C-alpha cells in the first residue's frame, strides 16, 4: 500500500488536556502537508482551527469525551456548538454504563439525536472496546447500524487500551451495510496501519503515522513516542 493511501485514512489527532494553540496549529499544518482525512482536536479549538484551515482540511472534534457519561442534552448541545464553530466531523462517546445496563433503546436514541444535530456531517460512535465484552461489541455494531451513524470507532485512546486487529475483524463481520469502521489508539507503525486497513478500517485515529513520516524525512528513522492519547 502506498504511504499516501494510508495518510488519506488518518484523522491526525491531538487531544491532550494541555494542548496549546501552537501545537494545534502545527498538527493542522502537518495534516495539510501529508493529505490526511481530517485533523481531530478538542472542541475549544474548533473555531480557531476552522478559520485557520479554511477549506484546506476538515476539522473533526470529540463529544462527551473521553468518558461518555454526559447527559444526552449536553452531548447534543456540544455537537450543535461544534458544527456551528466549523466542525465537519463529530466523534462521540457512548454512555458505557447504559450499555452495561442493557439500556439499548437509550443508547440508540442518543446516537440518533446527535446524528440529527450533525445533519449531513459525519458522525463516528466511540464504544471503548477495551471496556466491553465481545457480546457488547456485537450489540454496539447493531445499535450503530440502526442509529444511522456513519462510523463505529474502537477507542478514545484515554482508557486501558486502544484498537486491536481482532476488534476490527469483529466489527467488519457484524456492522450493517453503509457503516464504516475507525480504529483508534495504539496504532504505532505503518505496518499496523496497513493491517488495520486491510481488515476493514476506513479511518485511523492516530498522531504517530505523521510523526513517523516526519522523522523519516528528517533522517531519524525512528518511532516517536505517542503524545496525544492515540
Note whether 43 and 77 are within 8 A (CB): no
| DSSP bridge pairs for 153 | 126, 182
DSSP for residue 123: E
The catalytic residues are: 91, 153, 182
SS (H, E, C) 48-78: HHHHHHCCCCCEEEEECCCCCCCCHHHHHHH
Q: Which residues contact 7 (CB under 8 A, 6 or more apart)?
A: 34, 35, 36, 209, 210, 213
Residues 6 or more apart from 32 whose CB is under 8 A from it?
53, 56, 57
Amino acid at each position: 500500500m502506498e504511504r499516501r493511501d494510508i495518510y488519506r485514512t488518518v484523522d491526525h489527532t491531538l487531544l491532550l488536556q494541555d494542548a496549546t494553540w501552537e501545537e494545534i496549529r502545527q498538527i493542522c499544518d502537518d495534516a495539510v502537508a501529508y493529505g490526511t482525512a481530517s485533523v481531530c482536536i478538542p472542541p475549544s479549538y474548533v473555531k480557531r482551527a476552522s478559520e485557520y484551515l479554511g477549506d484546506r482540511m476538515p476539522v473533526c472534534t470529540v463529544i462527551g469525551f473521553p468518558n461518555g457519561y454526559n447527559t444526552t442534552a449536553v452531548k447534543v448541545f456540544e455537537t450543535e456548538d461544534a458544527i456551528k464553530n466549523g466542525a465537519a466531523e463529530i466523534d462521540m462517546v457512548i454512555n458505557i454504563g447504559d450499555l452495561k445496563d442493557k439500556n439499548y433503546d437509550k443508547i440508540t436514541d442518543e446516537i440518533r439525536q446527535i446524528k440529527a444535530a450533525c445533519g449531513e456531517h459525519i458522525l463516528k460512535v466511540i464504544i471503548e472496546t477495551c471496556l466491553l465484552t465481545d457480546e457488547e461489541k456485537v450489540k454496539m455494531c447493531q445499535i450503530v447500524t440502526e442509529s444511522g451513524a456513519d462510523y463505529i470507532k474502537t477507542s478514545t485512546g484515554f482508557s486501558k487500551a486502544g484498537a486491536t486487529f481482532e476488534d476490527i475483524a469483529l466489527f467488519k463481520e457484524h456492522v450493517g451495510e453503509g457503516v464504516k469502521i475507525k480504529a483508534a489508539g495504539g496504532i504505532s507503525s505503518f505496518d499496523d496501519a496497513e493491517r488495520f486497513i486491510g481488515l476493514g478500517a476506513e479511518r485511523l485515529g492516530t498522531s504517530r503515522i505523521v510523526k513517523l513520516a516526519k522523522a523519516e524525512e528528517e533522517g531519524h528513522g525512528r518511532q516517536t513516542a505517542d503524545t496525544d492519547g492515540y
